[in-house]
């Protein structure tokens, strides 16, 4: 049989030379020291193969060992179904117990609840034999990473994947394009595809405040869910790689780390591309979701059964609309665009210092700017062919931007998010907003205050059991809290851990100011929002009768 790689070699010789050129550049020219501001602007979504040990030492007088990083990587998971991955998760007990968000699991709940209404009323299995299998659900555990830039440039992604599958057919393999194609990594995952539903809270408890509070803080969302991974009909033995639980959480000012899978960012987009998104792409997308929500409301009307059936789709559409509006607001913020312009100018200046880079990449920014103008004209003319040609050219130029960035900075800055595993650092910290201060933590006191202040009207209503149990609850229990870690969609369900790898939070949201971080990172007021472990334990023990599950988390068994 003819070797397809050998046949492809002549066609790929130019790509191989290009790859060798990049390797040589990175080797010959040491990446310049990246100043703190540039590092900050391009974010903190670090890959595990290039974890910034020096930065951790500088920022926190501490750095993780290789063993620490390996344990964190293997304790983290990526959650999805047969077709795609969409959330993050983690092992949180020795018995295959998986923690993620309610909003990540709600489609699973709808899938298995039958004529019951677990989305509204919550669910707790209470015993292994009552845990409900979720057909099609799976999670992946990152086993290994390998730099395959040279192989991809020379032979193509499919050849690399084919070789990986032949060597390790038991794993799921993925070629990840980092720095828009400036670097390629082969990520190999172990798959757990027997997942079972263990516990979810009331839908209204998880989504308290509804769309008005979404992407906002202070807030009170009990957005957790627990699943369990099984193998051969038994819970997975995960004692070697699972996070510990710390009900007390983290202190204000303490360093914390998010281990998860951010979906996508656009921090290597040029200023011209951001302006196109601001003026054309995002306004159109926002309008599309507004019309979608209008259609859902017309379809549902007063039919509560129809609303129950469409609730997951409605919530997703509301979330998408608000997220897109937040991205748009970020690009309309002059401060954000000024930061973006400065970061681009710095990169172009570094490229211009080196004739080899200037010859290869110096005109890419101007060419991309011309494409944005041509796209607007093609759209007005209705030309669905000229647009395709422009998109193809833009894709090629995006790779050049990534190559230029990688040639200049190397791994001193993190690549854009790709729904692959990252570690993001920050500290627990409140912020100024609306002329006052947002506290680092909210408490159960605030949940009941918000319920009463809005007269118990939806979406600030509470399930009756919470009202019945109010006097039994410790109202000083921390509920949600904020930190300066770098997240985006896809990080939902990520564990937040401390330096001892204790779970001190569960990522489920960011504040509205965080959405502008899609294009440039800024932690002045942008924050992650997490569920505090104390409220999860308090709710399990006093609301849901799930003391055994709380014992499993707190290792009291």
> Residues 49-96: pLDDT tens digits?
999 999 999 999 999 999 999 999 999 999 999 889 999 999 999 999
The mean predicted confidence, pLDDT, of the chain is: 92
Strands 76-80 and 85-91 come out as antiparallel
Would residue 318 count as lying in a domain?
A: yes
Q: Are residues 257 and 299 in the same domain?
A: no
Q: Looking at 18-27, 31-40, 266-275, 359-368, which range is the least confident one? A: 18-27
Measured CA to CA, the distance from residue 219 to residue 511 in angstroms comes to: 10
% the chain with pLDDT above 90: 85
Give the pLDDT of residue 305.
Answer: 84
Give the pLDDT of residue 217.
Answer: 97
Average pLDDT of the residues in 242-246: 98
- DSSP conformation letters of 456-499: T-TTS---HHHHHTGGGS-TTSEEEEEE-----TT-TTPEEE-T
Q: Are residues 401 and 294 in the same domain?
A: yes
Q: Are residues 445 and 333 in the same domain?
A: no
Query: At residue 273, does pLDDT exceed 60?
Result: yes
Q: Could you tell me which of 453, 422, 434, 416 has the C-alpha nearest to residue 270? A: 416
Average pLDDT of the residues in 29-50: 73
Query: At residue 200, does pLDDT exceed 80?
Result: yes
451: containing domain: 64-137+193-266+416-557
The predicted-structure confidence for 335-355, as pLDDT tens digits, reads as follows: 889 989 998 999 999 999 999
Give the pLDDT of residue 309.
Answer: 83
Q: How confident is the model at residue 420 (pLDDT cuts 50, 70, 90)?
A: very high
Q: Are residues 448 and 420 in the same domain?
A: yes
Residue 411 vs residue 102, higher pLDDT: 102
Give the pLDDT of residue 8.
Answer: 41
Average pLDDT of the residues in 506-522: 94
Query: At residue 191, does pLDDT exceed 50?
Result: yes
Q: Are residues 280 and 380 in the same domain?
A: yes
Give the pLDDT of residue 39.
Answer: 64
Give the pLDDT of residue 35.
Answer: 62
Q: How confident is the model at residue 12 (pLDDT cuts 50, 70, 90)?
A: very low
Q: Is 239 helix (H, G, I), strand (E, B) or coil?
A: coil
Measured CA to CA, the distance from residue 402 to residue 54 in angstroms comes to: 23
Give the pLDDT of residue 253.
Answer: 98
Q: Are residues 496 and 528 in the same domain?
A: yes
Contact 90, 83 (CB under 8 A): no
CATH assignment at residue 204: 2.40.10.120
Query: At residue 13, does pLDDT exceed 50?
Result: no
Q: Are residues 121 and 198 in the same domain?
A: yes
Would residue 319 count as lying in a domain?
A: yes
Residue 4 vs residue 376, higher pLDDT: 376
Contact 322, 214 (CB under 8 A): yes
Would residue 58 count as lying in a domain?
A: no
Query: At residue 162, does pLDDT exceed 80?
Result: yes
Q: Are residues 242 and 379 in the same domain?
A: no
Average pLDDT of the residues in 230-243: 98
Q: Within its chain, how far is the Cα of 72 from the centroid?
A: 16
For residue 84, the 8-state DSSP code is -
Query: At residue 214, does pLDDT exceed 70?
Result: yes
% the chain with pLDDT above 70: 93
- Beta strand ranges found along 57-211 (DSSP E): 76-80, 85-91, 97-100, 123-124, 132-133, 138-147, 172-178, 183-192, 195-200
In this structure, the chain runs to a length of 557
Would residue 181 count as lying in a domain?
A: no
Q: Are residues 434 and 547 in the same domain?
A: yes
Query: At residue 123, does pLDDT exceed 60?
Result: yes
Query: At residue 31, does pLDDT exceed 60?
Result: no
Domain count, the chain: 2
Would residue 104 count as lying in a domain?
A: yes
Domain boundary among 369, 387, 412: 412
Give the pLDDT of residue 315.
Answer: 87
Q: Are residues 406 and 420 in the same domain?
A: no
Question: Phi/psi of residue 409, each to 5°?
Answer: -105, -15
Give the pLDDT of residue 231.
Answer: 98
Domain boundary among 372, 392, 412: 412
Per the rule left: phi > 0, alpha: psi between -120 and 50, beta: everything else, 209 is left
Q: Are residues 118 and 218 in the same domain?
A: yes
Q: Are residues 115 and 205 in the same domain?
A: yes
Query: At residue 36, does pLDDT exceed 90?
Result: no
């Amino acid at each position: 049989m003819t070797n397809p790689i050998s046949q492809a070699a002549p066609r790929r010789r130019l790509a191989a030379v290009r790859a060798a050129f990049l390797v040589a550049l990175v080797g010959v020219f040491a990446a310049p020291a990246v100043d703190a501001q540039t590092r900050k602007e391009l974010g903190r979504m670090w890959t595990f193969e290039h974890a910034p040990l020096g930065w951790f030492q500088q920022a926190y007088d501490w750095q993780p060992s290789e063993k620490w990083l390996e344990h964190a990587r293997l304790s983290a998971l990526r959650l999805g179904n047969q077709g795609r991955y969409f959330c993050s998760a983690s092992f949180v007990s020795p018995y295959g117990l998986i923690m993620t968000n309610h909003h990540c699991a709600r489609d699973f709940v709808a899938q298995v609840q039958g004529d019951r209404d677990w989305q509204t009323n919550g669910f707790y299995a209470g015993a292994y034999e009552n845990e409900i299998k979720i057909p099609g659900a799976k999670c992946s555990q990152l086993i290994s990473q390998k730099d395959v830039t040279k192989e991809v440039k020379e032979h193509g992604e499919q050849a690399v994947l084919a070789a990986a599958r032949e060597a390790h057919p038991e794993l799921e393999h993925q070629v990840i394009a980092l720095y828009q194609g400036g670097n390629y990594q082969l990520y190999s995952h172990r798959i757990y595809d027997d997942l079972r539903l263990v516990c979810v809270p009331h839908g209204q408890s998880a989504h308290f405040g509804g769309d008005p509070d979404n992407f906002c803080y202070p807030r009170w969302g009990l957005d957790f869910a627990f699943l369990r991974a099984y193998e051969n009909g038994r819970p997975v033995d995960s004692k070697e790689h699972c996070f510990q639980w710390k009900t007390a959480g983290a202190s204000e000012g303490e360093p914390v780390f998010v281990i998860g899978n951010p979906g996508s960012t656009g921090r290597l987009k040029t200023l011209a591309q951001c302006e196109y998104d601001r003026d054309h792409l995002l306004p159109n997308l926002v309008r599309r979701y507004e019309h979608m929500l209008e259609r859902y409301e017309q379809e549902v009307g007063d039919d509560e059964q129809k609303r129950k059936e469409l609730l997951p789709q409605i919530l997703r559409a509301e979330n998408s609309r608000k997220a897109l509006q937040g991205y748009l607001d970020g690009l309309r913020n002059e401060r954000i665009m000024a930061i973006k312009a400065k970061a681009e100018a710095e990169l172009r200046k570094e490229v211009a210092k080196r004739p080899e880079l200037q010859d290869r990449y110096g005109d890419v920014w101007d060419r991309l700017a011309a494409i944005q103008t041509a796209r607007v004209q093609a759209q007005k003319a209705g030309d669905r062919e000229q647009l395709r040609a422009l998109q193809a050219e833009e894709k090629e130029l995006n790779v050049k931007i990534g190559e230029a960035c990688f040639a200049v900075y190397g791994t001193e800055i993190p690549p854009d998010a790709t729904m692959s595993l990252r570690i993001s650092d920050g500290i627990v910290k409140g912020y100024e907003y609306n002329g006052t201060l947002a506290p680092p933590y909210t408490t159960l006191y605030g949940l009941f205050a918000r319920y009463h202040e809005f007269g118990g009207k939806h979406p600030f209503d509470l399930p009756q059991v919470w009202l019945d149990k109010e006097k039994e609850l410790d109202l000083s229990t921390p509920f949600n809290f904020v930190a300066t870690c770098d997240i985006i969609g896809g990080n939902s369900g990520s564990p937040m851990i401390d330096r001892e790898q204790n779970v001190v939070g569960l990522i489920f949201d960011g504040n509205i100011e965080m959405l502008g971080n899609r294009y440039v990172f800024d932690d002045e007021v942008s924050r992650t929002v997490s569920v505090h472990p104390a409220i999860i334990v308090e709710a399990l023990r006093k609301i849901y009768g799930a003391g055994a599950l709380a014992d499993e988390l707190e290792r009291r068994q």
